[in-house]
Structure 1
Amino acid sequence: MMSSEPVALASSEEVPWKRLSAKAPLAALVPLSGMIARVFLGALLPTYFAGERGLPTVLWVIVVGLAVLMLAAGLYEVATTSYRVVDAQLEIRSGILTRTSRFIEAARVQNTEVLQPFVSKLLGLVEVKVETASGGKADGHLRGLTPEDAQALIHALQAVRGGVTVAVPLPGESIPEERVLSEARLGGLLLYGATALGLGVLAVVLGALHEITETFHKLLLPWMEAHWESLAAPGMSWLAATVAALAGLFGLWLVSGVRAVLRFHGFRLVDTGTHLRAVGGLITRRQVTVRRARIQQVVLDEPLMRRTLGFGSVEVETAGVRTGNEAADRAELLVPVVPTARMPELLREFVPELPDALSFQGAHPKALLRARIRAVGLSVLVAAPATWFWGAWGAVAWLLLPAQLLGAWFDWRFQGWLVTEALVVVRQGFWHRRTTVVQRSRIQSVRARQGPLERGYGIGHVRIDVAGSHVILPSVGWAEAQSLIDVLPARRPTRRAPPQGVQLPG
């Protein structure tokens, strides 16, 4: 393990460029091939309309030729990539005929992520991702680093940002003196996956159902036709429908549980003092290091099913903006399984200023009337067309109305917000409860808005924006909403000037 002493400073003329490992193109071969295959997947769609002839040979030659050229260009870029940390910047350049250079200010680095995919692990290499607040993908992604070079790079970035470096073990390694804050067991991950049915899971299941349908028509349908009399006996229709529904639910649970295990197997969250480090994954080991000082928002995610089972999830976000439909894609650091009894303790690890008792201020009483009007409108919009097209069966959709009204009351009842000297805490929803803790020093802007119904009731809502994210307070009186615009933002500390250069060891 490397020493935790600060890395020596040097001028730009004294800092040499470092190259990736000679085995880096081999490590990048599989991910680049997968990315190119997804790009050209659309080329297979015309085969559905071309009959048995398929695509013309000349088109296949063009598609394969373009794919090979893209793969060669990607491998060439990896082979020619070099980097260094100098003048408080991470510089990355690649290419020979067409030179590409990237400059990343080390002081703006939010997180560093170390990955070790299966192929890289076989080759003894790792990948390093460097993220700033620019959003989207990582600003710097270096594939095919040796473990020693990866550690030296992260140490150099730490030295520029704060002058103090911490030990950086590889994914799967541990340091005895580090304090473990959270771990995830196999049973907890299966429960987490079963209660996190996102769009990705639905896409996989729909694809599987397509294959099952094809198999049904080819193999099972002839057998069912031969035994139709027994299957058509009274009472068998509801039994078959029940079995099909249970099989579908089991398939959703299975796919989601497998995805959770693949992503978070062996998950550990440890405290290194100034940083938090999370590592997990079955095939690809992923290690994320987040500076405590960079944390801007913490979200406690507690859907009703997870609350009933006695756990929730915690998302930690910095200014390293991400996009995605699921929590695992949005958050820089995600703790998948946190027992309900340990939630306050873990939240204070991320936000020490959090009060012991949270005395929430509820939503404005008139907000309930607004929620009821919205619930009635949604129910009528669904039930009226259903009754028109399907008659008595469609009229069952009117049962949505009392359910929507009950849900609106529960959501209004359990909303709340709290402003302390350092934090803003917002609790939203009952069926899918989310408690968001925002650092006031990280607030970018505050806006008060009124919709048409809110204007009539004299209420409004306040939106708090941080880098790449936002949270909306429950409805409050319009005068109070306007006053919060000036109250919520906190004065930020003055930043000190960064060092002039860093010499990478080795």
Structure 2
Amino acid sequence: MSSEGQPAVSGQALSSTEEVPWKRLSAKAPVAALVPISTVIGRMLLTALLPTYFAGERGLPVILWIIVSVIALVMLAAGLYEVATLSYRVVGAQLEIRSGVLTRSSRFIEAARVQNTEVLQPFVSKLLGLVEVKVETASGGKADGHLQGLTPEDAQALIQALQAVRGEASRVLLPGESSADERVLSEARLGDLLLYGATALGVGVLAVVLSALHEITETFHKLLLPWMEKHWELMAAPGMGWLAATVAALAGLFGLWLVSGARAVLRFHGFRLVDTGTHLRAVGGLITRRQVTVRRARIQQVVLDEPFLRRMLGFGSVEVETAGVRTGKESSERAELLVPVVPTTRMPELLREFVPDLPADIDALPLRPAHLKALLRARIRAVVLSVLVAAPATWFWGAWGALAWGLVPVQLLSAWFDWRFQGWLVTDTLVVVRQGFWRRRTTVVQRARIQSVRARQGPLERGYGIGHVRIDVAGSQVVLPSVGWEEAQSLIDQLPGRRPSRGARLPG
């Protein structure tokens, strides 16, 4: 746990802690922190530049530019000074970190509470021969301890000291290092990452592409327009508008694939997942090399993500979560460890590395289906959503808008597929939940990690006598498919009270 202060201790204990010297970051740490601190300050002060869009040709007054520049320089100097003066030490069973300029803060992190350690090596740090270490507990949010600008030797000594407190004795490896006795569980080649990126198109990627296209159009339209008028006469001819639209759509789709593939390569280039015995270590990244070490005993949830397109191509992704909670909105951003590309044939083998109680074939699990009345509820919702889209479209666009009524059978069919492939199973040690058809996600939760269980009923569910059960673990939650209300009540009583028995396994 971390805190901003600590109660007074006896004189004997105080003298024992004072015997442990404080350690500082490398002298080159401020140089390594220059880029990230400047980036944060730039984002904070960006709003100060927005009035230039409304100030016309006059721009901002000189005095405002001076004030903004002074504020930026002061913040930059304060940030660099904080990095230069940060100190840390491991005393007994705690990691102590002191930082701050005007306001001094002391953080105390119990080594026994550490869930994961993450080692980063951004591009600038790599040039300087430095690394960053993040120490994560179950408190959630940002890392409790973030030490930027450590030498490799100091980083190894810090992680080894934390492991020694927990009674662990394993060799600490930094990004780029390997051991002869480690067992490789998964690797990702360049082609696999490009395929992973091409099938991971999301809103974030779309926003990046649209922003880039907007900037290019605004900046270079005077250069592009003459070239387009000269070479695209055929597309501008009457009746050829469909060809221009098709080319534009294909170009946009190609741009999405390109950006998404580049993001995947930047994040996972050279990805390797290795087993070191008591820990799992994942390393990857092109510009910023990232290494995450997860203790096997701390794994609380494993998610197998298999969108439809990836299933057709024969692979999926695996997300591993511990109690070291993250703040990402997407589940893959919250996961402490993400294996981007896992061939379908190797999924059961890899899942058993994370959850030994799983059987050899996860697809053969005797999952219980969702309640039949849940299908009726899903169909009603599908029809309502389709009408809300099709009715305004018909009003505004007439016959062309009436084509939107075709969403009704499509949504009904999609609702049936989603209901048909839902399932759940509760055993002595695990809870298994499978949901979705187009984006199938299979979640495996360790029952020993369950924090709370609750049952809920919506207005339609109350009329049908069904409900759903939500299982909460540290920083995450899993919702079971709809079940009868009496069964939901029984699950509330059953799940928290059961704890894993030694040697218990799934049926079959």
Q: Is the 8 A contact 1:11 1:87 kept in 2?
A: no
Q: What is the distance in 2 between the residues matched to 1:142 and 1:63?
A: 29
Q: Does 1:474 align with 2:481?
A: yes
Q: Is the 8 A contact 2:468 2:482 kept in 1?
A: yes
- The residue that corresponds to 1:361 in the other structure is 368
Alignment of 1:5-84 (within 5 A): 11-84=16-89
Instruction: Using the TM superposition, name which of 484-493 and 14-23 deviates more.
Output: 484-493
- Flag the structure with more relative contact order, 1 or 2, with Cα contacts below 8 A and sequence separation at least 6: 1
Question: Match for 1:295: what amino acid?
Answer: I
The CA deviation string for residues 130-162 of structure 1, in whole angstroms up to 9 with x for no partner, is 11111111111000111111011111111222x
How big is the shift at 1:70? 0.7
Q: 1:423 aligns with which of 420, 430, 455?
A: 430
Q: What is the distance in 2 between the residues matched to 1:227 and 1:123?
A: 49
Q: Is the 8 A contact 2:116 2:294 kept in 1?
A: yes
Q: Does 1:457 align with 2:464?
A: yes
Alignment of 1:138-149 (within 5 A): 138-149=143-154
The CA deviation string for residues 27-64 of structure 1, in whole angstroms up to 9 with x for no partner, is 11111111111111222222111112221111111111
How big is the shift at 1:210? 0.4
Q: Is the 8 A contact 1:441 1:490 kept in 2?
A: no
Q: What is the distance in 2 between the residues matched to 1:274 and 1:79?
A: 35
The CA deviation string for residues 280-332 of structure 1, in whole angstroms up to 9 with x for no partner, is 00011000000001000000000001101110000000011112233442110
Question: Match for 2:409: what amino acid?
Answer: P
C-alpha change, 1:157 and 1:211, in structure 2 (3 Å) is: same
- The residue that corresponds to 2:7 in the other structure is none
C-alpha change, 1:261 and 1:59, in structure 2 (3 Å) is: same
Identity %: 86
C-alpha change, 1:337 and 1:225, in structure 2 (3 Å) is: closer
Instruction: Using the TM superposition, name which of 312-321 and 39-48 deviates more.
Output: 39-48
Q: 1:248 aligns with which of 236, 248, 252?
A: 252
- Unpaired runs of 5+ in structure 2? 1-14, 501-508
Q: What is the distance in 1 between the residues matched to 2:27 and 2:220?
A: 50
Q: Does 1:88 align with 2:88?
A: no
Please give the root-mean-square deviation of Cα atoms over the aligned residues, in Å: 1.7
The CA deviation string for residues 86-143 of structure 1, in whole angstroms up to 9 with x for no partner, is 1311110024653211111111111100001111111111000011111111111000
Q: Does 1:335 align with 2:334?
A: no
Q: What is the distance in 1 between the residues matched to 2:390 and 2:100?
A: 60
SS in 2 for 1:207: helix
Q: Is the 8 A contact 2:78 2:101 kept in 1?
A: no
Q: What is the distance in 1 between the residues matched to 2:32 and 2:430?
A: 44
Q: 2:134 aligns with which of 129, 132, 135?
A: 129
- The residue that corresponds to 1:3 in the other structure is none
Question: Match for 1:428: what amino acid?
Answer: Q
Q: What is the distance in 2 between the residues matched to 1:406 and 1:139?
A: 47
Instruction: Using the TM superposition, name which of 120-129 and 196-205 deviates more.
Output: 196-205
Q: What is the distance in 2 between the residues matched to 1:399 and 1:234?
A: 30
Question: Match for 1:368: what amino acid?
Answer: L
Q: What is the distance in 2 between the residues matched to 1:358 and 1:418?
A: 8
- The residue that corresponds to 1:381 in the other structure is 388
Q: Is the 8 A contact 1:454 1:460 kept in 2?
A: yes
Q: Is the 8 A contact 1:327 1:334 kept in 2?
A: no
Q: Does 1:203 align with 2:203?
A: no
C-alpha change, 1:345 and 1:490, in structure 2 (3 Å) is: farther
Alignment of 1:401-412 (within 5 A): 401-412=408-419
Q: What is the distance in 2 between the residues matched to 1:449 and 1:141?
A: 39
Q: Is the 8 A contact 1:198 1:326 kept in 2?
A: no
Q: 1:280 aligns with which of 279, 284, 301?
A: 284
- The residue that corresponds to 2:330 in the other structure is 326
SS in 2 for 1:375: helix
Q: Is the 8 A contact 1:363 1:476 kept in 2?
A: yes
Q: Is the 8 A contact 2:81 2:101 kept in 1?
A: no
How big is the shift at 1:226? 6.7
SS in 2 for 1:168: coil
- The residue that corresponds to 1:271 in the other structure is 275
- Unpaired runs of 5+ in structure 1? 1-9, 494-506
Q: What is the distance in 2 between the residues matched to 1:216 and 1:27?
A: 35
How big is the shift at 1:247? 0.3
How big is the shift at 1:227? 7.6
Alignment of 1:303-318 (within 5 A): 303-318=307-322
C-alpha change, 1:47 and 1:352, in structure 2 (3 Å) is: same
- The residue that corresponds to 1:298 in the other structure is 302
Per the normalisation by structure 1, the TM-score is: 0.92
Alignment of 1:183-262 (within 5 A): 183-215=187-219, 217-224=221-228, 230-262=234-266
- The residue that corresponds to 1:112 in the other structure is 117
Q: Is the 8 A contact 1:440 1:490 kept in 2?
A: no
C-alpha change, 1:397 and 1:354, in structure 2 (3 Å) is: same
C-alpha change, 1:283 and 1:227, in structure 2 (3 Å) is: closer
C-alpha change, 1:344 and 1:228, in structure 2 (3 Å) is: closer
Task: Count matched residues.
Answer: 483
Q: What is the distance in 2 between the residues matched to 1:198 and 1:264?
A: 17
Q: Does 1:179 align with 2:186?
A: no
Q: What is the distance in 2 between the residues matched to 1:463 and 1:436?
A: 13
SS in 2 for 1:427: strand
SS in 2 for 1:173: coil
Q: Is the 8 A contact 1:115 1:126 kept in 2?
A: yes
SS in 2 for 1:93: strand
Q: What is the distance in 1 between the residues matched to 2:397 and 2:239?
A: 24
The CA deviation string for residues 152-199 of structure 1, in whole angstroms up to 9 with x for no partner, is 1111111222x1221111101111110000000001100111111233
How big is the shift at 1:384? 0.7
Q: What is the distance in 2 between the residues matched to 1:27 and 1:328?
A: 28
How big is the shift at 1:492? 6.2
Q: What is the distance in 2 between the residues matched to 1:283 and 1:228?
A: 39
Q: What is the distance in 2 between the residues matched to 1:379 and 1:187?
A: 39
Question: Match for 2:40: what amino acid?
Answer: M
Instruction: Using the TM superposition, name which of 93-102 and 80-89 deviates more.
Output: 93-102
Q: 2:404 aligns with which of 393, 397, 400?
A: 397
C-alpha change, 1:457 and 1:328, in structure 2 (3 Å) is: closer
- The residue that corresponds to 1:502 in the other structure is none
- The residue that corresponds to 2:494 in the other structure is 487
Q: What is the distance in 2 between the residues matched to 1:150 and 1:160?
A: 16
Question: Match for 2:68: what amino acid?
Answer: V
Q: What is the distance in 2 between the residues matched to 1:436 and 1:470?
A: 10
Question: Match for 1:132: what amino acid?
Answer: T
Q: Is the 8 A contact 2:447 2:499 kept in 1?
A: no
How big is the shift at 1:231? 3.9
How big is the shift at 1:230? 4.3
Q: Is the 8 A contact 2:428 2:499 kept in 1?
A: no
SS in 1 for 2:333: helix
Q: Is the 8 A contact 2:314 2:344 kept in 1?
A: yes
How big is the shift at 1:223? 4.9
How big is the shift at 1:474? 0.4
- The residue that corresponds to 1:441 in the other structure is 448
C-alpha change, 1:243 and 1:97, in structure 2 (3 Å) is: closer
